[in-house]
Amino acid sequence: MSLISRNIFRALIQGSQHVGKGVHTSAVNLQENVCHASQSISSLQSSAKEGRIKCTLIPGDGVGPELVYSVQEVFKAANIPVDFESFFFSEVNPTLSAPLEDVVSSIARNKICIKGILATPDFSHTGELQTLNMKLRNALDLYANVVHVKSLPNVKCRHHDVDCIIIREQTEGEYSALEHESVPGVVECLKIITAAKSERIAKFAFDYAVKMGRKKVTAVHKANIMKLGDGLFLRSCEEMAKLYPRIQFEKMIVDNCTMQMVSNPNQFDVMVTPNLYGNIVDNLASGLVGGAGVVAGASYSAECAVFEQGARHIFSGAVGKNIANPTAMLLCSANLLSHVNLHAYSKMIKNAINKVLSDGKVRTKDLGGQSTTKDFTYAIISCLS
Amino acid sequence: MAVRLFSKLKTLPEIRAAYASSAAAAAPVQLSDFDLQHKTPVIRKQQLIPKAHYGGRHAVTMLPGGGIGPECMGYVKDIFKYIGAPVDFEVVDIDPTVDNDEDVQYAITTIKRNGVGLKGNIETKSEAAYVTSRNVALRNELDMYAYVLNCKSFPGVETRHKDIDIVIIRQNTEGEYAMLEHESVRGVIESMKVVTASNSERVARFAFEFAKRNGRKKVTTVHKANIMKLSDGLFLETSRRLAKEYPEIEHNDMIIDNCCMQLVAKPHQFDVMLMTNLYGSIVSNVVCGILGGAGLLSGRNYGDHYAVFEPGTRNTGTAIAGKNIANPIAMINASIDMLEHLGHHFHADLLRTGVNAAINVDRILTPDLGGTATSTEVVDAIKRNISENH
């Protein structure tokens, strides 16, 4: 019975969303876009028909749906050949959430996904230690998280020209969800480090550096204290570094790394970190260039890529207020387009973002302006060319 | 409303079933050759390196080499961009004039970590005895013991024989190419040909497995065991022994000199051919010549862990470099082989139909095949055919 009611709700909600979308798009002044990319065939999917590709879409919690909506508006206006397969997926709202298996199979089929942030409650009420995010990552083996922290034009920050890539292992380490209370009042939390996964992430980092033409990889660790666990991680990185004689390899202890990051972030190029350190450094670095609203990230498995914001905040205080900054989500979508070989569209969106930001007339609240999410989206759309 | 809900409920189990089956499909049912190579148990002690496969994209080493290599690689990159092949190239240039091995070692390292390479012909300009041939060094270092050349006629190319379909499998790492030569007395030079049971067995098994997997009927071992009774004898004996394990595949043998004559006179009698290193080199060039020259066919080097794809005949074509008349088909065919190996069958098919249509239907041919088209015209014709077929 609950299943039926759930499906009714979902059908109704999705239906109303579609109506809403239609109304809005007709209001937007659609531009004529001359785009050369439509000539090229693009996809990782063999079933792509007429050059259109499918992408799984998870709006997420908090301001996620508003941001995703902004992306859809831009895609529609630019006439981008991507069809979204939308899933409501949430941990804090389990009754409405789509089952994990459906979402996983959709992503596995489409190989690409764009995802908002999922809220995770602070305490577990059911005894479940794994969050939904972790389950999704484990199911798809999305082991590598990449956050490209780059200064944006005309965004006032303490540091300029920051350009570093932070690569984080996200399927083991502190996030293994292995915790237990051996005696009342004593909780043990296991941090798992394996050679296979450490080598894999180290290789990913170096290969990414090669692909992006970077010069240096810094391994972030705390092997002076956790000699075995982080020691293994560090050793694996050193081992992999031998295969890349043309890329400089450096190591840095995580506490020093955070200090260096806030005082002299320009020294960093590519960084590779275990799970928790990566999370902290990601957020720290995002803060340096303008906060959660402007930094894009992506998670990779061997087969799939999930594009999501770099700093994971749901910004629940802004829900429905129309003030969230969609820049990060739009950058994610641009990265997604270049991942599936639609480079011209990707450039188009990136250029539009740069133009709007450098003009500085339309800014959302987090960047010191007064504009709304919608204003910003329309400003982007009017800059598409 | 109620009716709509009812229909929704009715379709639900089907949707679920469909999802369940596609979830099973999430793990690739049919492993690509690339995946298989990363699963096979280690035969030689080798450091296992995680595979370079991220978000559905593969990283591949590209060695443009000398002569027409760089321009052909340019065409391949261009076409890959056009069809959206999920491959990222890591280009490594090797300076042919330098006497040290640094670049080659780096190239080998990149192939080790990427698992796959696409290469043009690398020149070794130095004739100093201590500088080994780069191509040979690459194959030996990566232990790529089998070389496969698919020789299939293109109907659009004028040749003496039609409908040839031969696969040449060549031992790639030892034999005459052992690079053991010395001058024992002044004026007397000895060159050693090394044949080992283990390598002969590996390549013979490769040949029979290849025949079995691709539905081939016959394997012919090519040798000169009547003269070199021990070395070629061992090779022949090994393949005869293995042939017994594959009773469904016919096996015969032929002496190399006779084989060359038969090839130019009656090439249709051959199916899969298995041979040692030097004979393989000669026979592949003979067959390439029969089918239309150096610019058409592509060869594949396989080891237990690595695969390198290259044009079928190992000529650099320095004389025609930069004149926009080189035939890009060989390199493009090599890239198709590479896409197949990586499991990107969709893109491989796309490209193959484009190439076939350009050669066989539109007959856009470069001067080496008797046409008048330039390299870029061929590439454009392929692209045009791809977009028309898609």
Mean pLDDT by 10 residues, chain A (385 residues): 50 43 35 37 51 89 91 93 92 88 93 92 81 92 94 88 94 90 93 94 95 94 94 94 94 95 94 94 92 92 93 83 92 93 92 92 89 93 89
Of the two residues B18 and A342, the one the predictor is more confident about is A342
Best B1, B4, B12, B57 residue to mutate vs chain A (most A CBs within 10 Å): B57
What CA–CA distance (Å, rounded) separates A64 from A74? 16
Strand locations in chain B (E) = 53-54, 57-63, 87-91, 116-119, 146-152, 165-171, 175-185, 188-194, 218-223, 250-255, 272-275, 298-302, 307-311
Quote the distance between the C-alpha of residue B195 and its chain's center: 23
Distance CA(B326)–CA(B62), nearest Å, equals 19
Give CA angle at A198 (B139, A310), nearest 5°.
115
* Residue B303: pLDDT over 50: yes
At residue A311, the pLDDT reads 85
Using the Cβ of B77 and the Cβ atoms of chain A, whether some distance falls under 8 Å is answered with: no
Whether pLDDT at B73 is above 90: yes
CA B244 to chain centre: 27
pLDDT at A45: 56
Residue B270's identity, in one-letter code, is F
Which of A210, A214, A345 is the best mutation test for B, with the most CBs of B within 10 A? A210
- Residue pair A235/A228 in contact by the 8 Å Cβ criterion: no
Asked whether the beta carbons of residue B54 and residue A207 sit closer than 8 angstroms, the reply is yes
Rounded-to-integer distance, Cα B361 and Cα B363, Å: 5
Is B84 in CB contact (< 8 Å) with chain A?
A: yes
CA distance B62 to A105: 34
The answer for A 21-80 residues in CB contact with B (under 8 A) is: 39-46, 51
Which residues does residue A300 pair with via DSSP β-bridges, in sequence order? Answer: A144, A305
Asked whether the beta carbons of residue B81 and residue A341 sit closer than 8 angstroms, the reply is: yes
pLDDT for residue B141? 87
Q: Measured between alpha carbons, how far is B117 from B301 in angstroms, rounded to an integer?
A: 10
Residue in A with minimal Cα distance to B346 = A46
The residue type found at A11 is: A
Cβ-contact B60, B114 below 8 angstroms = yes
Rounded to a whole number of angstroms, the distance from the CA of A213 to the nearest CA of chain B is 10
Find the radius of gyration of the CA atoms of chain A: 21
pLDDT at residue B65 greater than cutoff 90 = no
CA distance linking residue A359 with residue B362, whole number of Å: 51
At A267 the three-state DSSP class reads helix
Predicted local confidence at residue A190, as pLDDT: 93
Q: Residue B60 — very low, low, confident or very high, per pLDDT cuts 50/70/90?
A: very high
Question: Which pTM does this prediction carry?
Answer: 0.83
Q: Which of B110, B82, B107, B86 is nearest to B96 (CA)?
A: B107
Task: Answer yes or no: do A207 and B113 touch at CB < 8 A.
Answer: yes
Between CA B294 and CA B302, with CA B296 as vertex, the angle to 5 degrees is 90
Q: CA torsion angle for A327, A329, A330, A335 (degrees, to 10)?
A: 120
Pairing of strands A305-309, B53-54: unpaired
Instruction: Burial-class residue A243 by CB neighbours within 10 Å (0-12, 13-18, 19+).
Output: middle
Residues near A348 by Cβ (< 8 Å), separated by ≥ 6? A33, A35, A78, A384, A385
Residue A150, H or E segment: strand A144-150
The answer to whether the beta carbons of residues A100 and A139 sit under 8 Å apart is yes
Q: Give ipTM to 2 decimals.
A: 0.80
What pLDDT is recorded for position A4?
52
Reported as a single tens digit per residue, the pLDDT across B175-209 is 888 778 888 899 999 998 999 999 999 999 999 99
Nearest residue to B55 via CA among A163, A297, A295, A188: A297
| B59 contacts A207? CB cut-off 8 A | yes
Mutant choice from A39, A43, A85 vs B, greatest count of B C-beta within 10 A: A43
Nearest to B54 among A105, A144, A196 (CB): A144
Q: How far apart are CA B193 and CA B178, in angstroms?
A: 6
Strand, coil or helix: what is A129? coil
DSSP string of A339-367, one letter each residue = HTT-HHHHHHHHHHHHHHHHH-SS-BGGG
CA distance B113 to B87: 15
Q: Which residues of A touch B8 (CB under 8 A)?
A: 7, 11
Task: Give the total residue count for chain A.
Answer: 385
What would the two tokens of residue B187 be? Answer: 């004026």
Which residue in chain B has the smallest CA separation from A240?
Answer: B49
